[in-house]
Structure 1
């Protein structure tokens, strides 16, 4: 219950503040032209990005999973690789090369190149789970390749496509660094600017409330659009091998399309980082500051990973070993907190710490609490999976032999759950390394992480000084790309 209460703190704060402000205050702060402009900017960017990511993700997944394009394993890894480059680093790479990219089209380009893997990954996985017999039957009935895609494959990809689109939309609503660098105003950038400029609690909180409502609308819309129609096979049977569609004369255009996408999403950012690293090498790089910033980041990430994983243990354990409405409610409530953008979480913790516990304002515990709220589901998912695979029989046998509960936890339960605990800690660790928004607002004075140091240098248009911090973040994020692509790569044939 304590873990669930912490996860729901941002939502509870916004609801309480709105009720305290009253309808008249809400109407005065929300129903104004500036909010309308921010709503228009946010919605058109979300819609455009989801559509573009859907087209690119589905098209790339079809080429890799269902066509005869050469080197499909390599293309799969390259199409997941953009996730190793944080969106605000990608934005820095593009805006440093093309300063005139601070338009709607520029923002659409950068965020699409950063987020399309969120659609590609689930759609590629869904392609691998489709029954090839349905496609062969459709072709036997005279349908063309395009008709088979529209009438047989695409309906079965609905859940994966909607899920990926939801991830893209939620990430975009929470995105701050990339859009602030591109000078594209949305609710997230407006909340940050208002907080930094005037510490306007009511105005920033009401903008945060509108942003949370948009997140809830997206969640409900995804559930409604997903529907209840199922496409599961009645039995595994004998798996039929997939026969890739021969591209023939379209092989060269397909390779060109994949190469262009990977080049824009991966090669351009990496080339830009290399260019600015070389430019920055001419000036003195403060290696001592770089080392201390890296160690601070790793220390915070390690602490956040340990605390968040420890908080995930009771929720994941109860969800499996004590199934029921209360346990399910407690577990699912932790996901609601992470669906709130990081800037809203930070704003709630700032206000609560100032009003309730002023001695904790701008301290490491508040920052770690923000990390836990934002990334708790990443640990719970892996811990719950480990609990489901750990048979309770061993614990029962140890109890019958007289082992105490702490002894059983130390000698049996934790060793059995170690793989899931390690995976969850690794996911939280990598997420904290590149977290920007909450760290900017909550980090103690004088505390610099890789993300905040990069942000300070890039905001001062010192691209050469910002490059080393970006390179280290990319190197630390690279293992996540390998983990994401490993399981999918096993399902591919050469």
Structure 2
């Protein structure tokens, strides 16, 4: 497929520029880390505190990744490949955790069960918040899989579980790896949940160092270690993607017959119900309780509405900007195997593993030094969102473009259309569901973003996330409830769009194989 992008210097240049922009935080971290000299940086890097934070963060990330992998794959298989009663309802309902920010779940759990503070509480909250990131793409992969070999396996006497483990999982490995990568990057960059659960991970250590303001070099060193962790995770995901089989079976793709659970029906129902209760019911019921209590206070509903509108505005602007900037990177990465294309895609994932406060300070640094005219404006805040969440759109768009039939592009070229015209009229329209999924995911994530928004929002402007954080920090849980519910409502629409887009991608994959 590399022939499609020979002689495409404009696309390569555009992708490279976007990728370099995504690496902006690294410039800031490098300047801060070594401003005191190599000796000081080495001392801070190899001190016991850095090692402790690294081990604690690695332990939390590993626990969340394993939990999300098991829960996400199992839930996806149950709701797409079995005859589970109410599976359509569960397929939609299990996406709801994406609409509940991790710090909202965290403050409900810690308020109701204070003994959860620490590693277990942080792992529980983050696992319940992130497992849909694995479930959604895996469900789409199950829906698009050729059921031929699974059917052959079962006719040879293998049970449904053994067939799923030995045959079907091979097809969904790339999707599962991509979901685990996003969940892991979210975990190492999360601040709200670990802060509420009082678990001393990298993000809390960085925040404490920055807040102290005495020596930001130490915080920058911790940020560089997080960059290294994000790089290792991303390279591991890419290796898994390359080593996996893209499609199993050579028969004509068709919807698979659902597996009969029989005596496993009740255990499966209990499993998905328990997952739904832990990830959704507990936070929602806790918020209802706090909302009822909030009626004892004087709630400024005008402020709630204004804050909601501000959240919608910033989320929409950021989603639009990220989707536009992600297009050249995704197109180049999907249609080229050159080192430049791989490096451009990889570069976009680096900042996603950093806490928002680090990216926010990097953008502030650039704003003061290079772009003072937009300092403390919405433009600078949107730029921070672009750096933070570019990979969410790049990954989804690249997968959609990669799945589009190359033969249609070849036909367009033989009819005299230029490569650019072919991209605009053929490739991108086919990839619209994936592009929409990326935009919805960015909108959803921006609405919930906290640290960078706290640092960069224009004066006099608040979002639902910042208002929620401000009230919970002074233990005004009742006053925080209206903002939390408004944030969940705002997040519900893009969550539904994301679910529909990913499911349609699975259906399109079946149709594509029939071309």
Please say whether Structure 1 and Structure 2 have the same fold, judged by a TM-score greater than 0.5.
yes
What is the SS of the residue equivalent to 2:19? helix
What is the SS of the residue equivalent to 2:107? helix
More divergent stretch after superposition (238-247 vs 420-429): 420-429
CA change 1:27–1:485 in 2 (3 A) is same
C-alpha contact (below 8 Å) 1:163/1:222 kept by paired residues? yes
Give the counterpart of 2:301 among 253, 278, 287. Answer: 287
- Measured in 2, the distance between the counterparts of 1:241 and 1:426 equals 29
CA change 1:199–1:297 in 2 (3 A) is farther
- Measured in 2, the distance between the counterparts of 1:258 and 1:354 equals 50
The aligned runs of 1:3-402 (5 Å cut-off) are 3-18=18-33, 20-198=35-213, 200-226=215-241, 228-230=243-245, 232-233=247-248, 235-237=250-252, 239=254, 241-248=256-263, 250-312=264-326, 330=344, 333-357=347-371, 360-379=374-393
C-alpha contact (below 8 Å) 1:45/1:104 kept by paired residues? yes
- Measured in 1, the distance between the counterparts of 2:254 and 2:371 equals 60
> Shift of residue 354 of structure 1?
4.1
- Measured in 1, the distance between the counterparts of 2:397 and 2:82 equals 37
- Measured in 1, the distance between the counterparts of 2:67 and 2:58 equals 14
- Measured in 1, the distance between the counterparts of 2:147 and 2:188 equals 37
C-alpha contact (below 8 Å) 1:69/1:247 kept by paired residues? no
More divergent stretch after superposition (166-175 vs 438-447): 438-447
> Shift of residue 257 of structure 1?
1.7
CA change 1:348–1:147 in 2 (3 A) is same
C-alpha contact (below 8 Å) 2:104/2:484 kept by paired residues? yes
For the pair 1:454 / 2:492, whether they are aligned, the reply is no
C-alpha contact (below 8 Å) 1:174/1:343 kept by paired residues? no
Give the unaligned 5+ runs of structure 1.
Answer: 400-404
- Measured in 2, the distance between the counterparts of 1:381 and 1:275 equals 38
> Shift of residue 310 of structure 1?
4.5
More divergent stretch after superposition (19-28 vs 117-126): 19-28
What is the SS of the residue equivalent to 2:198? coil
- Measured in 2, the distance between the counterparts of 1:20 and 1:196 equals 19
What is the SS of the residue equivalent to 1:82? helix
What is the SS of the residue equivalent to 2:461? coil
What is the SS of the residue equivalent to 1:65? helix
CA change 1:441–1:479 in 2 (3 A) is same
Give the unaligned 5+ runs of structure 2.
Answer: 1-15, 508-515
CA-atom RMSD in angstroms? 3.6
What is the SS of the residue equivalent to 1:110? helix
- Measured in 2, the distance between the counterparts of 1:182 and 1:456 equals 16
Aligned residues: 482
**Cα offsets for 1:269-292 (capped at 9, x unmatched):** 111111111110121101232222
TM-score w.r.t. length of structure 1: 0.85
